[in-house]
Chain A
Amino acid sequence: MSIRVENLIHIYDKGMPTEQLALDNISFTAEDGQMVGIIGHTGSGKSTLLQHLNGLLKPDSGRIVIGGTDITEPGVSMVQIRKKIGLVFQYPEYQLFEETVAKDVAFGPKNLGLSQEEIDERVREAIELVGLDFETIKDRSPFDLSGGQKRRVAIAGVVAMRPEVLILDEPTAGLDPKAHKDVLAMVEEVHRRTGNITILVSHNMADIARLCDKIIVIDSGKLVTTGTPYEVFSKKDELRAVGLELPPVTKFTESLRERGLQLESTILDIDQAADQIAAYLKRKAK
């Protein structure tokens, strides 16, 4: 499975006074096993881009080829696309509606027309995969859960569809630090287990730097730059120009460098930073 997006353009409210160019000529690719991060200032078009990837929005021009199928062509089966591409929306807990957690998670698989046994099995697997205890939670009302639990149930609802591409729009927005860590660990776990493409939108640069193999930076609908975390976070000034920050560790080591410490440029994680600083101190002691 691979994703190829070519020259994607999307205009909201075309022909109205509020017309807005939300995506302006976006192109990128993603391969199996990759975790792709999308970053950009609020209102830059990230959510709009994600909604194109499973056919919820149609582009005004451009192509999206997923696993050899151009999903922008008329007549493509939407059910087939949504089977392959799972999209978890921003604040997905607001879409829970069933009486029990198990029923809500089963909604997606049911729409795929699976057998009851298959549905039950997937529901159990998905709920456990998101780090909840199936037996204790399955008969509770989703509306009585805590915010973090609701978020996990909502994500389980998409995971249970076993998509070949999992897309998450700010899965950690508004969560406390513990839930934040848990949800990300869960995303990582799902990604590792399936070996599929995962696409992640986040405003947290440290998470993006740590988790992703590839980063796409967009600003007012335009692709600013793309590359590995190392390549992207080396372009400090370019990022600052579009209102983005470096991950805290990188910022810290950058300011150490500015004060004259001889460190390698663009350090992305804490261990690497510690090694470099220790090495510098040892060199200096000699």
Chain B
Amino acid sequence: MIRDITIGQYFPGNSVIHRLDPRVKIIATLLFIIEIFIVDNFLGFAVAGLCLGAVIAVSRVPLGYIVRGLKPILIILLFTFALNMFMIDGHILWQWGFLKITAEGLRTAVFMAIRLILLIIGSSMLTLCTRPLSLTDGIERLLSPFKKIGLPAHEIAMMMTIALRFIPTLLEETDKIMKAQQARGADFETGNLIHRAKSLIPILVPLFVSAFRIAQDLAMAMEARCYRGGEHRTRMNEMKFKGRDYAAFALLALFLAVIIVESRIF
């Protein structure tokens, strides 16, 4: 069902990874993503995959849970795989009519698939191991130097907090509305594209009405409690780097060095 979507979800835990400062995790994830794009050979992926595997093992998030999160993007994955496999010219391995698979195509296809999988698992580790609230706190702190040039760091963070907070609510709401319309005989699974697009109306209209209602209630509740943006707000838990955060930075630097050296040599 629609609730199976795990991308962007938090997996409760108490591992070292969970307890790291959110800023460390955000920076680490960004670097990891950049590196995935720098790497241009399979050995580099092996190193990155190994490090990611170590992080997953330490975080104690079950692998099955993470893999399940890949399901919704399976189609995109297969699509890029097929596109690469059939579209790239080179040494032909197999041909049938106008369809052909080339060695270069196959290599690129596998390469891109690994890159995508690493990318998605790597970035989902960030949200799996970080409470949405500390995630946005971290983003706010990282963005705060840019306040001087007029970037509304607090407002951006608040918007993200609210968005993250309401994803499960809206999913639940969608699930409920879908079931209610199904109970009235609505059919979302069969029929041609136009029919299916039309069958979305009975879901989307109530969903939008709900979303606006929720937004209005929330705005009212915030105003009733005198919310007025980030000025002069203090926080209960001040963020401070601890020993484990410096250790994480050290490991990250090491990882960075290995990847750079590796891509220079090979």
Task: Report if A and B associate in a common complex.
Answer: yes
Q: Which residues of A contact B (CB under 8 A)?
A: 13, 15-17, 51, 54, 56, 78-79, 82-83, 86-87, 89, 92, 94-97, 107-108, 111-112, 143, 157-158, 161
Roughly how many angstroms separate A78 CA and B188 CA in the complex, as a whole number? 12
CA of A83 to CA of B205, assembled, Å: 24
- Contact partner of A108 (CB less than 8 A), chosen from B12, B185, B201, is B185
Q: When A and B form their complex, which 4 residue pairs have the shortest distance between CB atoms, in order from nearest?
A: A111-B185, A97-B205, A108-B184, A87-B183
Once the chains bind, are A107 and B210 in contact (CB under 8 Å)? no
Closest Cβ neighbor of B189 among chain A residues: A78
18 further A-B contacts with Cβ under 8 Å, apart from A17-B65, A161-B185, are A15-B64, A56-B179, A78-B182, A82-B182, A82-B184, A82-B185, A89-B176, A89-B183, A94-B176, A94-B206, A96-B206, A97-B201, A97-B202, A97-B205, A112-B185, A158-B183, A158-B184, A161-B184
Residues of A within 8 A of B11 (CB): 17
Closest chain A CB from B172 CB (angstroms): 12
CB proximity to A under 8 Å, residues B175-195? 176-177, 179-187
Residue ranges of B at the interface with A (Cβ–Cβ < 8 Å): 3, 11-12, 64-65, 176-177, 179-187, 201-202, 205-206, 209-210
A250 to B255, CA, bound (A): 72
| A-side contacts of B202, CB under 8 Å | 95, 97, 107
A79 touches B187 (CB 8 A): yes
Given the complex of chains A and B, what is the CA–CA distance between A54 and B184 in angstroms?
11
Q: Write out the residue numbers on chain B whose beta carbons fall within 8 Å of the beta carbon of A16.
A: 65
Show 10 A/B contacts (Cβ-Cβ < 8 Å), sorted by A.
Answer: A54-B183, A82-B184, A82-B185, A86-B183, A94-B176, A97-B202, A97-B206, A108-B184, A108-B185, A111-B185
Distance to closest chain A CB from B9 (angstroms) = 10
Tell me the total A-B contact number using a CB cutoff of 8 A. 59
Complexed CA–CA distance, A174 and B182 (Å): 24
In the complex the two chains form, is A89's CB within 8 Å of B180's CB? yes
Q: Which residues of B contact A87 (CB under 8 A)?
A: 183
Q: Which residues of B contact A97 (CB under 8 A)?
A: 201-202, 205-206
Distance in angstroms from B189 CB to nearest chain A CB is 9
Contacting residues, chain A, for B205 (C-beta < 8 A): 97
Most A C-beta atoms less than 10 A away, residue of B3, B179, B201 = B179
Q: In whole angstroms, what is the CA distance A164 to B176 when docked?
A: 23
Contact A56–B185 (Cβ < 8 Å): no
Query: A15 vs B4: C-alpha distance in the bound complex, in angstroms?
Result: 11
**Contact of A13 with B3 in the complex, beta carbons under 8 Å:** yes
A111 nearest CB neighbor, chain B only: B185
Chain A residues positioned under 8 Å from B12 (CB to CB): 17
Find out whether the CB atom of A89 lies under 8 angstroms from the CB atom of B3. Answer: no
**Quick one: closest A residue to B13, CB to CB?**
A17
Q: What is the CB-to-nearest-CB distance from B5 to chain A, in angstroms, rounded to a whole number?
A: 12
Q: How far is the CA of A89 from the CA of B186 in the complex (A)?
A: 15
B-side contacts of A107, CB under 8 Å: 181, 184-186, 202
Q: Report Cα–Cα, A51/B182, bound state, in Å.
A: 11
Q: How far is the CA of A51 from the CA of B1 in the complex (A)?
A: 14
> Could you tell me the distance in whole angstroms from the C-beta of A278 to the nearest C-beta in chain B?
47
